[in-house]
Structure 1
Amino acid sequence: MEFYQSSGTSSVDYGVDDRGPKSGKAPSSNEDRLDSGLDSLKEDEYAEVARDIGRLRVDCAPRAREECCEPWKHEVTEDGDTFLHLAIIHEAQDAAVRIIEMSVSDPFLNKQNYQRQTALHLAVVTEQPLVVERLLEAGCDPTLVDNNGNTALHIACRTGSLSCFSLLTQNCQEHLPAVLHTPNYSGQKCLHLVSIHGYLSLVENLISLGADINAQEQCNGRTALHLAVDLQNSELVRLLVNRGADVNSVTYGGHTAYHLTYGRQNTDIQKILFDLTANDLRELPDSESEDSEDDYKDEELSDEEIYDDIKMMGQK
């Protein structure tokens, strides 16, 4: 079987959309690569790849398939994409489903390309619920992360795909608690991602499924409530407060959600949080810069003390 390698990349953007989960495909950006060669393959090369996929042994009996050699499972492009990756990238759904049927419980399903994307990641990125469902039924591992630390559910949360989100949460009960508590490499868990993008229904779903409503981002300690205030999303603030979010939780810098209302135009959020926040946590904490300035004021060094480590000709 002749195999063609791709030579380019393209990308997809998971943009913020405060209107709620999306049902269409995500637009392009440079953050995450959607494919390894969608735009780089010429028409004749793409047609040849499609023919190669079509020539796969789909008529073999299960026992015969185990015994016969299937070299196509080991073929990868220069970007590490398998035939299954390519079929999903090019939305050749029938071919993808046939490959999945031939690879049930096979480690091949979990192969990661050079951006550590599995077929499941790409199926969510391209929003192909049927392929997501077949992959999960065939034994694809939903806990694997890409090179940004995102599981397939992280991606569904960021894109707001209701269909992929439902499939991943309903068909991964065994792994769901671990996935919900897994932060990506930006320190964000699934609840943080849906909060940032304002997907209220997904926020409620995640909390109902066991996501920690007070989980803190690893980089700065913000909770979903802090993020809601930062984004001035009053609906999300109310939802989180009603679901029991801790208004007294502080970031690593010592700031409550109420502190983040200072200087913001939305007075409704400030009113909601003022009465709920503990009295001793309403005042802004002293900044580190002020503390450090005071320290230096109390300590005046002479020129001799400042430059006492300079040596000339071996002498101080």
Structure 2
Amino acid sequence: MELLNHLQNKRNTAALDLIEKGTDLTFIDQNSNTALHYASSNGFTEVVVRILEENTSIIDNQGQHGQTAVHRALQNGNTETFVSLVAYGANINVLDVKGQSCLDMAMKRKDLNLVKLLCYFGAEVALQDWILLSGDINALDKQDQVILKQILDQNDRLAAINHG
């Protein structure tokens, strides 16, 4: 609990000290969040890496609203933390309680770089869920067209992988 308190109050050095002393990394708070959720939210990449060096079993734990540490990192624009989570084996295709994946979050934010990164890491595409597909692609603004093309390309890549 002390570790979560340090992370919530943005005291990453104190958090690192507790991790070094062997504190419980699997503690879950009243919102179902772990230290990994809070470290990811705050972009404390060094803390995230230290936690995962000790224990990867919590990497895909779903906390408040069904979000994983990956969701929390991306939601707060912490790309470096996100990449570290993926490097340790985080699943980027977990859906939160609203049925949204990390790719859905990136598309809603119209963050092309994040969409590309998620596709590179193998994000699954659920095209039926994306509202941009309901109309004429030429009617979309330039940014949406580029994002849609990226998603369609990813869908083609996944189809090729799945069907040889």
The bucket for the TM-score relative to the shorter chain is: 0.7 to 0.9
Q: Given the alignment, which residue of 232, 235, 260 partners 2:110? A: 232
* C-alpha displacement of 1:133: 2.6
Q: Say what the alpha-carbon RMSD is for the aligned residues.
A: 2.1
- Name the counterpart of 1:216: 95
Q: Deviations over 1:211-268 (max 9, x none)?
A: 0121111x12221111110111110000011111122x36xxx51xxx2435874221
Tell me, yes or no, if structure 1 residue 272 matches structure 2 residue 143: no
Structure with higher RCO (Cα < 8 A, 6+ apart): 2
- Answer with 1 or 2: which has the greater Rg: 1
Aligned AA (2:90)? A
Aligned-pair identity in percent equals 26
Does the alignment pair 1:155 with 2:38?
Answer: yes
- Taking the TM superposition and a 5 Å limit, the aligned residue runs for 1:1-316 are 118-170=1-53, 172=54, 175-176=55-56, 178-217=57-96, 219-247=97-125, 249=126, 255=129, 259-261=130-132, 265=141, 266=143, 267-277=145-155
Q: Distance in 1 between matches of 2:148 and 2:108?
A: 12
Q: CA deviation at 1:138?
A: 2.5
Partners of 1:125 and 1:164 in 2: CA distance: 13
Helix, strand or coil at the partner of 1:183: coil
Structure 1: 4+ residue segments shifted above 3 A: 260-265, 275-278
> Taking structure 2 as the reference length, what is the TM-score of the superposition?
0.79
Unpaired runs of 5+ residues, structure 2, are 157-164
CA contact (8 A) 2:3 2:18 kept: yes
The CA deviation at 1:135 is: 1.6
Q: Which has the higher helix share?
A: 2
5+ long unaligned stretches in structure 1? 1-117, 279-316
CA contact (8 A) 2:7 2:15 kept: yes
Distance 2:12 2:75 in 1: 24
- 3-state SS of 2:89 partner: coil
TM-score (normalizing by structure 1)? 0.43
C-alpha separation in 2, matches of 1:188 and 1:242: 21
Distance of aligned partners of 1:260 and 1:227 in 2 relative to their CA distance in 1, 3 Å threshold? farther
Please give the alpha-carbon distance, in whole angstroms, between the structure 1 residues aligned to 2:31 and 2:2.
16
Tell me how far 1:185 sits from its aligned partner. Answer: 2.6
Instruction: Kindly indicate whether the alpha-carbon contact (under 8 Å) linking 1:129 and 1:167 is maintained by their aligned counterparts in 2.
Output: no
Following the alignment from structure 2 to structure 1, what is the Cα–Cα distance between the partners of residues 36 and 47? 8
> What is the identity, as a one-letter code, of the residue corresponding to 1:167?
R
* Alpha-carbon distance between aligned partners in 1 of 2:83 and 2:20, rounded to the nearest angstrom: 26
Aligned residues: 149
* 2-structure distance, mates of 1:124, 1:168: 12
